[in-house]
Amino acid sequence: MVNVLSCLLKRKVTADVLARDDEIEALGQEIRREVDAVFGGSLAIRELDTGSDNAAEIEINNLTNPHYDVERFGITFVASPRHADVLLVTGAVTHNMAAAAKKTYDAMPSPKFVVAVGDDACTGGIFAGSYAVLGGAEKIVPVDLKIPGNPPAPKEILAGLLALMRQAGKNR
């Protein structure tokens, strides 16, 4: 009771988070412009892991931390492929994930884009040729852009998304 009361009455805690990075800000402004021009104000991304070592997921997740906070630039991560413009594929495609990966792609509305994130998704990486994988993402879905890296840093993923939007804008 006392605890509840003290929680109600005490000063609310907030804290400034000092996390700004000029390079990211500049990149973000460019992304914002492309998102507005090409994707009507918001770019909806669905992440699909087909067999990564989880490092690429961590970096994609990091895009939402306060240092990057990409929602500011019009990028949102959506829970369903039915809401997505872009599919970010990470990892070599394993046999065990192939069917689910294909279904995820098929569930997306057109026009849709696929970006392979990380060496394994680009080419199969060190797992190319293994009994358990098909290879890179292009073995099951058409890939529009590849972002190499082991894994690519958040900044590189953002630069990749910018390149994708510019390419999409030109092809319209």
CA distances from 93 to 10, 38, 72, 129, 137 (A): 52, 30, 32, 11, 6
Task: Choose, by CB under 8 A, the member of 35, 39, 43, 47 that binds another protein.
Answer: 47
Q: How big is the site for another protein, counted in residues (CB under 8 A)?
A: 53
Query: β-strands 43-49, 93-94: how paired?
Result: unpaired
When asked if residue 2 is in the footprint of another protein (CB under 8 A), the reply is no
When asked if residue 16 is in the footprint of another protein (CB under 8 A), the reply is no
Alpha-helical segments (H) within 107-170: 119-123, 154-170
3-state secondary structure of 1: coil
Query: β-strands 145-147, 43-49: how paired?
Result: unpaired
Task: Choose, by CB under 8 A, the member of 20, 29, 37, 58 that binds another protein.
Answer: 58
Task: Choose, by CB under 8 A, the member of 31, 44, 51, 140 that binds another protein.
Answer: 51
Residues that bind another protein (CB under 8 A): 3-4, 7, 13-15, 17, 19, 47-62, 65-67, 77, 79-81, 91-92, 94-101, 104, 126-127, 129-134, 150-151, 153
